[in-house]
A and B are shown apart, each in its own frame.
Chain A
Amino acid sequence: RKEVEQDPGPFNVPEGATVAFNCTYSNSASQSFFWYRQDCRKEPKLLMSVYSSGNEDGRFTAQLNRASQYISLLIRDSKLSDSATYLCAVNWETGANNLFFGTGTRLTVIP
């Protein structure tokens, strides 16, 4: 089983729609959680960290469910510019303290 799993999509949604992605992780000792955005042929860039209490940044809301071991990303009022691949990443701060990435979920926002 992979440490981090995501639905690869693609998700094709109309402008203005609300879309949500989930990401499950296998290690219950995971401590830090992130969502990254990756545009085609570009590097991943941090979109937002995910805090235990949930957090919001404009149209983006990230939530953590430790009991079920998943994190989610909700995008409201989708824009064409939101089209990208969204990667979740998890770190369990033991051993090498590295990040484990999901394979990414591709989103296309359609006019």
Chain B
Amino acid sequence: DADVTQTPRNRITKTGKRIMLECSQTKGHDRMYWYRQDPGLGLRLIYYSFDVKDINKGEISDGYSVSRQAQAKFSLSLESAIPNQTALYFCATMGGPAEQFFGPGTRLTVL
């Protein structure tokens, strides 16, 4: 079984819809991350969490929110999706030293 899982793997939605992307991990890591990846722009950090009570904004948090429901679960929400949020989204955990483990990604299309 994969150590970091993401659901859904693919999602097509319409502008204005609320979307939640979920991430679960079995690695026992405290640190979890959400990134988006766009062609030519690489991985950009949206939010990160160092434990259940710690949530931090990343480089591009506008239009997104997160919830850390448990050590193993970190979900990303788009409150009102817009087309420029179409991207590949990755959840990741961090072990030591600084090594990240990525989930398989969620391909989101906003029409």
Whether a CB of chain A sits under 8 angstroms from the CB of B43 is: yes
What 1/0 mask marks residues of chain B from 37 to 53 whose CB sits below 8 Å from any chain A CB? 00011110100100000
CA gap between A49 and B48 in the complex, in Å: 22
Q: Given that A43-B90, A98-B48 are known contacts, is A103 also in contact with B99, CB under 8 Å in the complex?
A: no
Which of B48, B88, B101, B102 has a CB less than 8 Å from the CB of A96?
B48
The answer to whether residues A41 and B88 also contact, given A32-B97, A34-B98, A97-B98 and a CB cut-off of 8 A, is: yes
Within 8 A of B (CB), among A31-57: 31-32, 34, 41-46, 49
- The answer to whether residues A43 and B97 also contact, given A8-B40, A103-B40 and a CB cut-off of 8 A, is no
The DSSP consensus for interface residues of chain B is strand
| Smallest CB gap from B58: residue in A | A98
Q: Verify B103–A43 contact, CB threshold 8 A.
A: yes
A18–B107 Cα distance when bound, in Å, is 34
Given known pairs A32-B97, A96-B48, the reply for A44 and B41 (CB within 8 Å) is no
B residues near A49, Cβ cutoff 8 Å = 99
Residue of chain A at shortest CB distance from B35: A101
* Chain A residues whose CB sits within 8 angstroms of the CB of B99 once the complex forms: 34, 46, 49
- B interface residues (Cβ-Cβ under 8 A, vs A): 33, 40-43, 45, 48, 56, 58, 88, 90, 94, 97-105, 107
25 CB-based A-B contacts, threshold 8 Å: A8-B40, A32-B97, A32-B98, A34-B99, A41-B88, A41-B107, A42-B104, A42-B105, A43-B103, A43-B104, A44-B90, A45-B102, A46-B101, A87-B42, A87-B43, A89-B100, A91-B97, A91-B98, A93-B97, A96-B56, A97-B98, A98-B33, A99-B100, A101-B43, A104-B42
